[in-house]
Amino acid sequence: MQVHALTVGNTQVENNIFLAPMAGYTDYAYRKLQISLGVGLAFTELVSAKGLMYGGENSAELLFSGQDINKTSAQIFGADAYFMRSACESEYLQPFSIVDINMGCPVPKVFKNGEGSALLTDIKKAENIIKECVKSGKNITVKIRTGQKRGDDIATEFAKMAENSGASLITIHGRVREDYYSGEPDYNAIERAKNAVKIPVIANGGIFNKQDAENMINRTGADGIMIARGAIANPFLIVDLLDKETSVTLKEYMLNHITLMAERYGDRRASLEFRKFTSYYFKGKVGVKELKTALQTAESVGQIKFLISNYL
C-alpha cells in the first residue's frame, strides 16, 4: 500500500497506518512501543465521557500518553451530547489535538446503554453528538461499523452525516455489530462511503499481514488503514507495512513491554496484565509451551524478565 502523511483537521499525521483502540490491550505501554516502531497515530482505549466528568480516576488513567501525546488520539464514548462535549473541553482531553468518538463498539455493556454501535440506528442523536463535540474546537473523528446486523449498510449515510457535522475523518470497521471481530470485511460498503465524502476514510478489519493491507486499500480506495488484533499477534506488523527494518527482536520487545508496564502500573498489576499478551506473542510458535505457561503464572516483573531473558 502507499504510505503517506495524512491531514486530520488542522493536524498533520506522519503516516496513514493507525493503531486501533482495543480495550485491555492498547494501554500506554503498548501504544508507546507501536509508535516507536512507526505507527502514524495510536488511539487510547475507549474512555467513558461520563466517567471522566464524574472524576473517575480509572478513566483518566486510560488517557495517559507521556511524550507520545502528539501521535495519540483520545477515544471517548457516550450517548449524551452534553457529557461528550464537556469531556472534549475538559482538562483531561486538553493535551489531545484529535478526539475520536466511538460509535462502533459491539460490547453488550456499552450497547445496552445506547452507546457505541447502538448509535448506528439513531443517526440524529449521533449527529447531535458530533456537532457538539466539534464545537469544542478539537479535531473530531468518528469510528463506526457498517451496521448492526448482517445486511445493514449504513456506512455511506453515516459518513456523509459525520462530514456535514464537522468531523475531520471517519474510520469504518467493515463488519456489522453482530459479527464482532470475525468474518470478511464488507469492502464494498467502505468503498461506497469513501466515494461519498471528501474527508479521509480509514478502513479497519481483518488486517493481519501486508497482503491484507494491500487488499483493503485496493478494494476500498480508503485513505489509510487501522490495524488492530493483527498488531498484537504480530507486534512487528507495522514494520512490515512500512517496508522498514528493525533491529528489535521479540525478546527485546517483550522486555521493553513489561518494563514500561511496571514503570506505569507497578509490579503486581504489570505482571497480571502482561499474561494476556503471551498467548498472542507465542501464537504459532513451536517449543515455547513451557515458557508460555510459566509466564502466565509468573507473579512478579522480575520473574517475567528472568524467564524471557533466559528461555526465549
In tens, the pLDDT along 8-64 reads 999 999 999 999 999 999 999 999 999 999 999 999 999 999 999 998 778 889 999
Q: pTM higher than 0.85 for the full model?
A: yes
Regarding whether 272 and 203 lie in a shared domain, the answer is no
Regarding whether 185 and 284 lie in a shared domain, the answer is no
In tens, the pLDDT along 233-263 reads 999 999 999 999 999 999 999 999 999 999 9
Active site positions, annotated = 105
- Please give the Cα distance from 206 to 259 (Å, whole number): 30
- Please give the Cα distance from 36 to 26 (Å, whole number): 14
210-217 average pLDDT score: 98
**What DSSP string runs through 150-161?**
TT---HHHHHHH
Name the domain count of the chain.
2
Q: Are strands 139-147 and 72-77 parallel, antiparallel or unpaired?
A: unpaired
Checking if the pLDDT of 286 tops 90, the result is: no
Residue 299's pLDDT band (cuts 50, 70, 90): very high
Parent domain of 55: 6-241
Domain boundary among 241, 258, 274: 241
Regarding whether 165 and 269 lie in a shared domain, the answer is no
* Residue 1 included in any domain: no
Q: State the CB neighbour count (10 A cutoff) for residue 165.
A: 18
In tens, the pLDDT along 95-109 reads 999 999 999 999 999
In tens, the pLDDT along 74-129 reads 999 999 999 999 999 999 999 999 999 999 999 999 999 999 999 999 999 999 99
* Residue 172 included in any domain: yes
Q: Which three-class secondary structure string do you get for 270-295?
A: HHHHHHHHHHHHCCCCCCCHHHHHHH
Domain boundary among 199, 214, 241: 241
- Please give the Cα distance from 111 to 106 (Å, whole number): 6
- Please give the Cα distance from 233 to 241 (Å, whole number): 15
Which CATH number goes with the domain that contains 299? Answer: 1.10.1200
In tens, the pLDDT along 137-182 reads 999 999 999 999 988 889 999 999 999 999 999 999 999 999 999 9
Say if residue 91 is exposed, middle or buried (CB neighbours under 10 Å; 0-12, 13-18, 19+).
exposed
Three-state DSSP class for 202?
strand
* Residue 26 included in any domain: yes
Structure confidence at residue 245 (pLDDT): 93
- Please give the Cα distance from 190 to 202 (Å, whole number): 9
Q: Please, what is the average pLDDT of the chain?
A: 96
Checking if the pLDDT of 219 tops 90, the result is: yes
Regarding whether 179 and 57 lie in a shared domain, the answer is yes
